[in-house]
Structure 1
Amino acid sequence: MLRSLRIKNYALLKDAKIDFDRGLNIITGETGAGKSIIIGALNICIGARGYTENIRSGEEKAEIEAVFELNDEWVRSVINGILEEAGINTSGDEIIIKREINRSSKGRVFINNCASSLLTLQKTGEYLIDIHGQHEHQSLLREEIHIDLLDSFSGTGVLRAEVTDTYKKLIETERRLAHIKKSGREKAEKLDLIKFRIKEIKEASIASPNELERLGEEREKLVHSAEIKETLNSILFHLSPVSLDGDGKGAIEMLEKAREAVLRISRFDSKMQEFEELLSEALVKVSEAKDFFSSYAFDFEFDPARLAETEEKISLLEGLIKKYKMETLGDVINYEKELNEELLEIESGEDNAEAAEKEVRLLRKKILELSRKLSRMRSEKSKELSDAVKKELKGLGINKAEFEPVVTEIKKGDSPGLEVEENGKTLIAGPYGIDRVVFMISLNPGEDLKPLAKIASGGEISRIMLAIKNILSESDGVPVMVFDEIDTGISGKIASITGRKMKEISEKKQLIVITHLPQIAAFSENHFSVGKTVSDGRTETLIKKLKTEEKEEEIASLLSGKGVTESSLKAARELISGA
């Protein structure tokens, strides 16, 4: 469960900490108060992108920290496995996630106080929390997610992943086969050119992608060798003329004189000992610098032959970049690797083509077998999902609904895919198999089943989504569900029924719900109110956990739409007692 969420300098939140609890956590507040800021912060905590625009005005960074309890053994095992693979410490029964969004630098991710990649956070977040936004119920109208929902219910994840993997391999192998065949036809004319280019790049002896920068620095030093030598002598003379067999006193001698003078005074004033030590340290450092410059000057000399060699190598490397229309020397190095791969491919083209053709045949056979198996499982489970959704819908006030996930074969043009032959029949196989899934529904007796998108209202869609999510929640293992105003289009009795359903779900996993409806808020076990205040000319969002009396007043306010009255307070208490 999500134990706590701290949000600092994010949007209108200056520094807020929310302590959640098990069961049904309700968040209410006026429109624009900042309720959805909380959901945005939660999304960032599980890997969503953080935008600098959301940093509070006048602040350099925003911080969001979430603490989760890993009560479920399976969830704990999976998450600890992800963290261990990433080299991150595991903390037993809890996980602490922290995100920083900075104006002037890249944002940072921490898991259990260890720096983490965003990818590791996203993998972890999938098993921690399931967030449903206020418009997400509309996604149910998109046919392409119907197959995902049926597969999630059917428990076909491993088989579907195998189908997807096989599809990707088949696409890749067919592309490779086409390339091999094309390469074979062009073999004679390309082979000599490829070998010549490989030889030319190889003979350039490119040491590293940064060789041009290194050679450029060396050339600058050689070209300005006289100036460098003169400047080195000047440095040494000013530090200690004696080092150049000269007369006079330099910085070292003068510092030594000063140190001796301070040492004499220190006999009379102990405070001077500190400054004598400072001068001694300065003498050591200046002497070290003198030794370095002396050694550098001794070893430094102008080498005309090396300058000519450097100029020639720079010209050669720049010529290669220009000739092959590259941007950098690293591109030339990568180009040589590509040429070697292409050479190997062409020289072994016939064998590769035969092996690729065999692999394509095997993959086509495999994807058909797997897709048929997946199709059978979908067809079998579609009846169970149908019965489960209808039962849930009755509990949500849609008593006469008929619901059926219809599984049919993909037709040409329906969606991207490959044509595969089965007993003389052409089928279309895509990344999820050979099936198309459409949710069909009838909301009134005697009406034909029609696609969900064509007949359901907003309120009905919200309840259908809630029904499906409740069904899927029993098998997905994710311990926290968040609903951000998915109760659009419902009110009155239906809102109360929806609230009761949410309470039912919260007995199995923690729920965090943002709502405007008093009928749903009445079911809360933990109630938070979100509001805005202005302090020192700055607007700030405040979050407060409500006590029993405060909860009654908040629900009364939601009921009246204006303010708390005796009648609305009485109605609020009746709602709460009936929840």
Structure 2
Amino acid sequence: QAREEIKTLVMDEREKARRVDRLTYVVDEVGQANLKASEEETLKQERELLGNAELRANLADHAHRLLYGAGEDDKGALDLLNGAAQALTGLEKYDAAIKNLREQMDGAIAQADDLSRELARYRDSIDHNPKRLAQVDERMDLIFRLKRKYGDSIEEILKFAGDAAAELATITRSEERMTELKKKESELLKEIGALAAELSRARKSACEKLAREIENQLKDLGMDKAKFGVALERAADAEGVEENGKRVAVDTTGIDRVEFLVSPNPGEPLKPLAKIASGGETSRLMLAMKSVLAVADNTPTLIFDEIDQGIGGRTGGIVGMKLWALTPTAQKRDDNPEHQVLVITHLPQIAAYGDSHLKIHKEIVGERTITKVGELNDAQRVDEIANMLGTATATTRKNAEELLAETKSQKEKVKSKK
């Protein structure tokens, strides 16, 4: 964040002057408007009332005249109700049962009288104020123009102006702020440099141990002569941390540029792992590395293809056990229950170690060839392992059953030790 702010501060003086003018204009224009967050809705309501003042007065007056009347020749509803009340009073003299109706009529007259008074008060309170209407229109026009420039609402306009004011303050005190930021950057680089150096020392001490352990794993996997190494390099960076009087690049992983090196065959120099051509060798190298780093590995899915290339049955069994050892079943890890290991193999000694066995085959449907994948049950698995051992016969089936039984026994021994 310190560096980002420094980049903002370091700008051409002419550009800075233009930016200051622009920001000052925005801050002044919005400030002079003295906007209130909810005033637009209030203005709309006031505009509706003022703009329809005459119509509202006419409607209220008309309703009042219909109730109260406008003179001797223009009777209103109250006059008619009073006439009806007089008739009911006369009727009550002859029929006492009409009393309830007469009382209801008295109530209706009282209510109509109240309504007529309220309408008169409302009519007389209506503000015919063209001057105020013009002021409201002018204010709404100002808000409309500001919205076109700075946002779709008053809240957005105020935020835009606030951001402009903050940037203006930063630019106007840029020299002071630059000094603060440079000091902060220097302190942070020292702190980061110390942590990165500590991490680098830890890596150096771990590199040799890691290389020896991976080489031991490779021996088990049929790569007896393979050599493994770890290169820790630095990249120059004028804005990086200081190390031995030089500036080197640093990121979230530290100052080291880590590269794994391997020499699969005697007499060959160590080369970057990425340049190893053989798919089988790459898979076995990855298996060796994953076996050593299994405890710390949280990769959701590991896929090994061609890992059986160039190895025989005995080594295949070792490879199979190491592959199975990477699974949550073998490690009894609860922190990554969905971790899985997928292996594509033609070696029965490897396939026998799988907790599940999937078979991939092709079928012709109509004029199309489709690929299907299905999980084998126990009997189907015996048949498939027998086919992988050779032509399916009673002997190869028996060998397949023995191989599956042996791998199951080996897996149970490992699990019992956990």
Q: TM-score range by the shorter chain?
A: 0.5 to 0.7
Deviation (angstroms), 1:502: 2.1
Report whether the alignment pairs 1:445 with 2:266: yes
Contact in 2 for aligned 1:440/1:450 (Cα 8 Å): yes
* Selected match of 1:201 from 30, 33, 43: 30
* Selected match of 2:323 from 476, 493, 502: 502
Q: RMSD of the TM alignment (CA)? A: 4.7
Equivalent residue, structure 2, for 1:374 = 199
Equivalent residue, structure 2, for 1:77 = none
Larger Rg: 2
Cα displacement string for residues 451-487 of structure 1 (whole angstroms, at most 9, x for unaligned residues): 11223411221222222222222235x5x9643x423
Contact in 2 for aligned 1:184/1:350 (Cα 8 Å): no
Deviation (angstroms), 1:407: 0.9
Report whether the alignment pairs 1:338 with 2:338: no
Distance 1:519 1:227 in 2: 96
Q: Match of 1:390, SS?
A: helix
Quick one: which amino acid aligns to residue 291 of structure 2? N
* Selected match of 1:410 from 209, 228, 235: 235
- Structure with the higher fraction of residues in helix conformation: 2
Alignment of 1:265-276 (within 5 A): none
Deviation (angstroms), 1:445: 1.7
* Selected match of 1:522 from 343, 349, 352: 352
Contact in 2 for aligned 1:389/1:468 (Cα 8 Å): yes
Report whether the alignment pairs 1:180 with 2:9: yes
Deviation (angstroms), 1:403: 0.3
Deviation (angstroms), 1:323: 4.1
Equivalent residue, structure 2, for 1:311 = 137
Quick one: which amino acid aligns to residue 3 of structure 2? E
Distance 2:326 2:27 in 1: 65
Contact in 2 for aligned 1:470/1:505 (Cα 8 Å): yes
- Structure with the higher fraction of residues in strand conformation: 1
Quick one: which amino acid aligns to residue 513 of structure 1? V
* Selected match of 1:435 from 256, 276, 281: 256
The 3 A distance-change label for structure 1 pair 195 and 482 is closer
Distance 2:174 2:259 in 1: 45
Equivalent residue, structure 1, for 2:400 = 572
Q: Which runs of 5+ in 1 are unaligned?
A: 1-171, 232-243, 247-294, 534-538
Contact in 2 for aligned 1:410/1:436 (Cα 8 Å): yes
Q: Match of 2:230, SS?
A: strand
The 3 A distance-change label for structure 1 pair 488 and 327 is farther
The 3 A distance-change label for structure 1 pair 189 and 384 is same
Contact in 2 for aligned 1:201/1:336 (Cα 8 Å): yes
The 3 A distance-change label for structure 1 pair 215 and 401 is farther
Q: State percent identity of aligned pairs.
A: 31
Distance 1:202 1:191 in 2: 16
Q: Match of 2:288, SS?
A: helix
Report whether the alignment pairs 1:361 with 2:186: yes
Distance 1:174 1:404 in 2: 36
Quick one: which amino acid aligns to residue 311 of structure 1? D
Distance 2:41 2:390 in 1: 73
Quick one: which amino acid aligns to residue 350 of structure 2? I
The 3 A distance-change label for structure 1 pair 422 and 381 is closer
Deviation (angstroms), 1:356: 1.5
TM-score by length of structure 2 reads 0.62
Distance 2:202 2:51 in 1: 76
Deviation (angstroms), 1:498: 2.4
Distance 2:126 2:179 in 1: 62
Distance 2:361 2:294 in 1: 31
The 3 A distance-change label for structure 1 pair 344 and 523 is same
Quick one: which amino acid aligns to residue 199 of structure 1? D
Contact in 1 for aligned 2:356/2:375 (Cα 8 Å): no
Distance 1:386 1:196 in 2: 65
Contact in 2 for aligned 1:212/1:314 (Cα 8 Å): yes
Alignment of 1:468-547 (within 5 A): 468-476=289-297, 478=298, 482-483=301-302, 485-491=303-309, 493=313, 495-506=316-327, 507-509=330-332, 512-517=340-345, 518-525=348-355, 546=377
Contact in 2 for aligned 1:482/1:512 (Cα 8 Å): yes
The 3 A distance-change label for structure 1 pair 435 and 330 is same
Contact in 1 for aligned 2:231/2:259 (Cα 8 Å): yes
Quick one: which amino acid aligns to residue 368 of structure 1? G
Distance 1:427 1:348 in 2: 31
Equivalent residue, structure 2, for 1:106 = none
Deviation (angstroms), 1:199: 3.1
Distance 2:233 2:395 in 1: 55
Distance 1:527 1:331 in 2: 60
Q: Which runs of 5+ in 2 are unaligned?
A: 60-75, 79-118, 334-338, 364-369, 408-418
Cα displacement string for residues 381-421 of structure 1 (whole angstroms, at most 9, x for unaligned residues): 11111112112222222222100011122246xxxx83455
The 3 A distance-change label for structure 1 pair 328 and 569 is farther
Contact in 2 for aligned 1:397/1:497 (Cα 8 Å): no
Quick one: which amino acid aligns to residue 576 of structure 1? L
Equivalent residue, structure 2, for 1:425 = 246
Q: Match of 1:397, SS?
A: coil
